[in-house]
Amino acid sequence: MKRVGFMLKVKKDKIEEYKAHHQHVWPEMLDALRRHGWHNYSLFLSEDGLLFGYFEAEESFQASLEGMAKEPINAKWQEFMAPYFENLGGAHADESMIELEEVFHLD
């Protein structure tokens, strides 16, 4: 397993809606994430919209992203969620995630 951390930015005026949608993630999307190695997946959000994501990938961040890119439900979810993010430049959030370097871990 590879531990993966990433960052994005949610628009401040969309934070409450963003959080509400994540209380009811589509079951097909959850199934796709599991199929492509997104284990122990969590999202953390600050009041200014900074979003930190963490998951444990079976292989790598890139392999997990590539797997999801093949899923039609992911394309629908990304399109649905795109208006909630800052600075995507026309890309979807999963194409704009900034992977963070792991510098410390304690089991």
Q: Is the pLDDT of residue 90 over 80?
A: no
Average pLDDT over residues 27-38: 96
Residue 102 main-chain phi, psi, to 5 deg: -75, 125
We report the CATH number of the domain holding residue 94 as 3.30.70.100
Is position 21 within any domain? Answer: yes
Our answer to whether residue 22 is catalytic in this structure is yes
- The catalytic position among 22, 36, 39, 105 is 22
* CA–CA dist 60, 17 (Å, integer): 30
Is position 62 within any domain? Answer: yes
What is the SS3 assignment for 21?
helix
Q: What stretch of H or E contains 34?
A: helix 27-35
The per-residue pLDDT for 15 is 98
Q: What is the pTM of this model?
A: 0.88
Closest by CA to 38, choosing from 9, 10, 12, 77, is 77
Is position 107 within any domain? Answer: no
Q: Is the pLDDT of residue 97 over 90?
A: no
The per-residue pLDDT for 85 is 93
The parent domain of residue 84 ranges over 2-100
Higher pLDDT, 69 or 94: 69
**Per the structure, how many domains does the chain have?**
1
